[in-house]
Amino acid sequence: MKRSLYSVAAVLVLAVTGGAFYWSAANQAAPQSTFVLLDGSTKTTADLKGKVTLVNFWATSCVTCVAEMPKVIATYDKYKTQGFDTLAVAMSYDPPSYVVNYTETRKLPFKVAIDNTGAVAKAWGDVQLTPTTYIVNKRGEIVKRYVGEPNFAELHRLIEKLLAEA
């Protein structure tokens, strides 16, 4: 019991200090998914092809998610005219009314989906911790996964590299 408490404490310290960790996916294809957007329309994994896309799994109850959202918005605004897109995926436990309210009051400029059933999070590696962010290249392949808030300077360098690819 004591050991598991220390493990939990270590994870919390890592999260609080901004020590996001990432996983290199060796450019594995993004999983086939259908995202249900707030306006009721859908977007599929196939729709991501042709752009560099940041797919961010988040929740309104996640302190780190809320704290990083202005940086996610700034990243979108910085690169959106260069072939970059962002898709925020709210977790299944997040009440839809909270997601809609957050999206409207913060004027999120990108598409927001609600993963009502948890199927999208499951398909994308059984995402349970938020924020979890994936960077998908123009070919629809996952290039990087971050758990926790990314180092945004590093993230911007990666986005610029991927945008420069043919």
Q: pLDDT tens digits for 96-137?
A: 999 999 999 999 999 999 999 999 999 999 999 999 999 999
Q: CA geometry: angle at 23 spanning 73 and 111, to 5°?
A: 25
**Where residue 90 sits, what CATH number does that domain have?**
3.40.30.10
Residue 62: its pLDDT value, please? 97
- Whether residue 8 is contained in a domain is answered as no
**pLDDT for position 27:** 81
In this structure, the number of other CB atoms found within 10 A of the CB of residue 28 comes to 12
Q: What is the 3-state secondary structure (H, E, C) of 2-45?
A: HHHHHHHHHHHHHHHCCCCEEEEEEEEECCCCEEEECCCCEEEH
What predicted TM-score, i.e. pTM, was given to this entire model? Answer: 0.85
pLDDT value at position 166?
A: 82
Ranking 2-16, 53-67, 93-107 by mean pLDDT, the lowest is 2-16
- Report if residue 10 sits inside a domain: no
Domain of 47, in residue numbers:
20-164
Q: Is pLDDT of 44 > 80? A: yes
Report yes or no on 44 lying in a domain.
yes
- In-domain check, residue 149: yes
What is the tens place of the pLDDT at every residue in 148-161?
999 999 999 999 99
What pLDDT does 11 receive? 38
**pLDDT value, residue 26:** 58
Number of domains in the chain: 1
Tell me, yes or no, whether 153 lies in a domain. yes
Percent of the chain past pLDDT 90, that is, above it, reads 83
In a domain, 79, yes or no: yes
* CA separation for the pair 9, 4 (Å, rounded): 8
* pLDDT higher than 50, residue 74: yes
Q: What are the pLDDT digits (tens) for 17-38?
A: 344 444 444 589 999 999 999 9
Q: Compute the average pLDDT of residues 8-17.
A: 37
Residue 112's closest CA among 82, 72, 148?
72
User: Of residues 26 and 163, which shows the higher confidence score?
Assistant: 163
Whether 104 is in a domain gets the answer yes
Mean pLDDT of the chain: 88
Q: What is the pLDDT of residue 17?
A: 35
